[in-house]
Structures are given as C-alpha cells and as structure tokens.
Amino acid sequence: MQRLPHIDQQYESEVQALTSALVTMGLHAESQIGDAVRALVDRDPDLARQVVKNDRDLNRMENETDLLCIKLMARRAPVGEDLRLVTCALKAVVDMERIGDLAVNVAKRYLEINAGGPGLEPTPEVLALTQGALDITRRAMGALQNRDGAAARTIRTEDSRIDDLNRAVFQQMILVAKDHGDQLERAIAYTSIARYLERVADHAVNIAEMVVFLIEGKVIRHAPD
C-alpha cells in the first residue's frame, strides 16, 4: 500500500529527510563493499586505499541519521509507519556502518596480500563469495530504496548459500596451508576475507528484515524461514 504524505508539510519534509538519509547511507555502504571486492578481484591497491579513506563518510552519515531520528521523535512523537521508519533507521544504520567497517577490513587484508608479492590468488570459491555478498547487499539496499517488502523477504533464504561458501573457503585454505607452507599467510588472509564477506551478508539480511518490519509491520528477525 502506498504511503500517504502528511498534511503538515514540515512534518512530511522531516520524514522525507530521514528516508533520504537512510537510503543514501545504504547506497554508500553498498558502494564501499563493491569497491572493496573490486579492489580484490582487479588487484587494485589504489582503490583499496580509497575504501579505507572513505569509511569516515559512512561514520558521519550514521551520526547524522541518528540525529534525524532523535529530532523526529522529540518533535513529532511519530506513530504507525513513521515510528517504524525511525525504528528501522536506528537499527539499519548500525548494520550499514558495520558493512562499511567490513569493507575496510577486506580492503586492508587485500593490501597485506598485495604487499607480499606474487602467490596464491583468489580461488573460484572466494570469487563466488565476493559476488554473493555483493549481490545480497545490493538487493537489501534496493528493497529499502523501493520499499519492497516482498523483495526483502526473499533475501533471507539465500544467506545459507553464503554460509556454505564461507565454510568451503575455510576448508580449502586449510588444505592450501597444509600442502603449501609458503602460502600460509595468504591462506589466512583469504580465510579472514571470507569471514568478513559472510558477515556482510548477515548485516544485509538484518537490513532486509527491517524493511519487512517497516513496510508490513511484522517482525521476522529470528523467525523460521
């Protein structure tokens, strides 16, 4: 059902400002993990360093969005969908900020790998995990931007595939470390990157669940699929 705007134009402006801030932060988080993944896949240390540098922008956005939520609650005492929007924003920005932090972690681990010279490159499993984490993040942010509860619901079902890929990378890197001792540090780095990407997917799922709450008023977090 389409949301009806408030008659009070100032109130409506404040709601729209919060909505815009939340979507903008989500897109920035998506961009950060996208750039981190691209730096790894394309072997681009300059892009990786840019990801690290851009993290402060996401931190600033989190603070600004929190402030918008506080002002809206203090001035308007929102109810209904407006209250759900504030609740969604307060929770989702935490997940978005964490996605940004994890993107920085991926970038830093890549820079460590790059500094070590030639050696073990990303395996097909690592590449599949990078794409899977990026796809699920994009879909979660798209569901938020389009206020699409149905699309958000479909995201949870794919998280298990990301978990499976993370486990596959871990097992693979154990074998690499066992058979190729000179690649131990790289194997550990790729294991860390896989874990970071698995956590990115978890945060994307959290955001998708909050979108369902925002649109449908239903809490599906911790509920069976």
Q: How confident is the model at residue 28 (pLDDT cuts 50, 70, 90)?
A: very high
If you write DSSP's letter for every residue of 138-159 in order, what string do you get?
Answer: HHHHHHHHHT-HHHHHHHGGGH
Q: How confident is the model at residue 3 (pLDDT cuts 50, 70, 90)?
A: low
User: What is the sign of the dihedral through the CA atoms of 33, 38, 44 and 47?
Assistant: negative
pLDDT confidence of residue 97: 98
**Alpha carbon distance 98, 27 (integer Å):** 14
pLDDT confidence of residue 118: 84
Q: How confident is the model at residue 1 (pLDDT cuts 50, 70, 90)?
A: very low
pLDDT confidence of residue 222: 73
Coil/strand/helix, residue 201:
helix
**Alpha carbon distance 177, 56 (integer Å):** 35
Look at residues 173, 202, 199, 22 and name the one whose alpha carbon lies nearest to residue 104: 199
Share of the chain above pLDDT 90, in %: 84
* Span 81-100, pLDDT tens digits: 999 999 999 999 999 999 99
Q: Does residue 6 surpass a pLDDT of 90? A: no
Looking at per-residue pLDDT, the higher value among 6 and 179 belongs to: 179
* Span 48-67, pLDDT tens digits: 999 999 999 999 999 999 99
Look at residues 132, 139, 135, 129 and name the one whose alpha carbon lies nearest to residue 192: 129
pLDDT confidence of residue 158: 84
Taking the domains of the chain in order of start, what are their residue ranges? 10-216
pLDDT confidence of residue 8: 76
Q: Does residue 76 surpass a pLDDT of 60? A: yes
* Span 122-149, pLDDT tens digits: 999 999 999 999 999 999 999 999 999 9
> Average pLDDT for residues 33-48, to the nearest whole number?
97
Q: Does residue 157 surpass a pLDDT of 90? A: no
Fold of the domain built from segment(s) 10-216: Methane Monooxygenase Hydroxylase; Chain G, domain 1 (1.20.58)
